Amino acid sequence: MKNSRREFIKKGSMAGLATYIGTMGLSAKSYRNIIGANDRVNVGVIGFSDRFRGSLLPSFVKLHKELNFDMVAVSDIWKKRREDGQAYLKQQLEHDITACVNNEALYDLKNIDAVFISTADFQHALHTVEAVKAGKDTYTEKPLAETMEDARAVLKAVKDSGKIVQIGSQRRSGATYKAAYDFIQQGKFGPIVMVELIWNVNQPGRWRRPSLVPQLREEDTDWKRFLLNRPFEKFDPRKYLEFRLFWPYSSGIPGQWMCHQIDTVHWFANLPHPRSAAVNGGIYAWKDGRKNADTLTAVFDYGPINDPSKGFQVIFSSRMTNAAGDVKEIYYSNGGTLNLDTNQISPEGGLNENHAKAMGMKANLLPSVSLNDMATKVTTDANTGSDDLTLSHVRNWMDCVRSRKQPNAPIEAGYNHAIAVIMSNAAYRTGQKVTFDEKTQEVMAGGKVFKY
């Protein structure tokens, strides 16, 4: 990545100062406390959303003084959220905040180094394209994209820019997940034979904003700007505020929840995406005008793209109508089970001696290993109030903005989870078994490219 003039001067100044502070006997920690504003990383907010306010901002507030970051501006096209964001950030950060009517106005400020992007699901990709083309690093919420067109555009823009982009797949910064990853990569687990993923809640109000919808007037926002590249339709405050319930603004369950867990599959298995997907589901309980499923089960085939003789099955099941089962991520090998709910690796289900001996084989049983000492509690709450995973993930991004190293969830991770999300959405909406065309990088349903 080419350094800007500002970065070049900064590095030159820091080299000289390193010698100076050494002669003064200052530690690196002590020096960080006296670094001036020229070394501070200024951050802007793209979209003052519930997710940003409830989880990302609390993490940033906990870290920004230690890491010498500041938050100076917020962009939101809705007047109410723009003004609310300006006031709330001023309260949290104890200084004035610039409110911008749109993203271009924020980038015109020229003093922004990086941004949090926490807008509607379908906007993440194009807002990230805007940001990196404006020379900004980003923390981009998931899902990265809901169409392959947008996914390809953001992948290219980020790679061309050399900017630091962290995708909001916070499991990649969790200690327990890293321990499980290491166990699998070291060959101790054996080949994965199946994965079961569950995400259940019982929340009729999840993704609803009934008290807020009447407050949104078309004249107070920019509906055309909101739509970006989606087909034009008349202003609808529900689709603006409750976008997670309506395609093509969100796939709902796949884009909101499955993308977290399927990203872990990609990470653990070193695979980019499913080979195929089949989905069933529907709107079985919450008859509130939504278009996205309240219950959905996806079955994926994973394995080497060019070797169908190897692989494993992944089942993702989610319902919004009964919370029994909560959130589960369970990996199976021939030797046992890796359970990321209990944080236990065990011989449960492994090949025991009696069954092995009958076929002239040896028993295959994993040891019992506890990961509780490094456990990170996973919550189903949308706004997790700076839980350990989000805090670690935001810290990793902030560290990488300074070091220019790749973050734990780089753009490729987002691109790959987007493929799985789009495949599951295509399978649900078409009723077809869906595949991915490696050459064209398109999701195929019934021999046709899927878009909407």
Q: CA dist 224 to 47, 77, 271, 328, Å?
A: 16, 11, 38, 39
Length of the chain: 452
Token pair recorded at residue 165: 């982009």
Cα angle: 178, vertex 377, 400; to 5 degrees: 45
Question: For the chain, how are helix, strand and coil distributed in percent, rounded to 5?
Answer: 40, 20, 40
pLDDT of the chain, 452 residues: tens digit per residue = 444 434 433 444 444 444 333 433 444 443 343 334 469 999 999 999 999 999 999 999 999 999 999 999 999 999 999 999 999 999 999 999 999 999 999 999 989 999 999 999 999 999 999 999 999 999 999 999 999 999 999 999 999 999 999 999 999 999 999 999 999 999 999 999 999 999 999 999 999 999 999 999 999 999 999 999 999 999 999 999 999 999 999 999 999 999 999 999 999 999 999 999 999 999 999 999 999 999 999 999 999 999 999 999 999 999 999 999 999 999 999 999 999 999 999 999 999 999 999 999 999 999 999 987 655 454 555 554 568 899 999 999 999 999 999 999 999 999 999 999 999 999 999 999 999 999 999 999 999 999 99
| Calpha distance 279→315 (Å, rounded) | 10
| Calpha distance 347→334 (Å, rounded) | 9
| Calpha distance 262→300 (Å, rounded) | 10
Helix and strand counts by DSSP (H, E) for the chain:
16, 17
Amino acid identity, position 428: Y
Do residues 393 and 166 lie in contact, with contact meaning Cβ atoms separated by under 8 Å?
Answer: yes
Do residues 375 and 180 lie in contact, with contact meaning Cβ atoms separated by under 8 Å?
Answer: no
| Calpha distance 451→165 (Å, rounded) | 25
| Calpha distance 408→298 (Å, rounded) | 26
Do residues 74 and 53 lie in contact, with contact meaning Cβ atoms separated by under 8 Å?
Answer: no
Token pair recorded at residue 233: 């339709």
Q: Identify each DSSP E strand in 228-286 by its residue range.
A: 276-282
| Calpha distance 219→3 (Å, rounded) | 42
Count Cβ atoms below 10 Å from residue 246 Cβ, excluding itself: 19
Q: What is 61-81 written as a DSSP string?
A: HHHHHHHTEEEEEEE-SSHHH
Strands 442-445 and 448-449: antiparallel
Do residues 102 and 127 lie in contact, with contact meaning Cβ atoms separated by under 8 Å?
Answer: no
| Calpha distance 394→403 (Å, rounded) | 14
Assign residue 163 a region: left if phi > 0, alpha if psi is -120 to 50, beta otherwise?
beta
Among 204, 192, 409, 183, CA closest to 290: 204
Confidence at residue 380, expressed as pLDDT on a 0 to 100 scale = 57
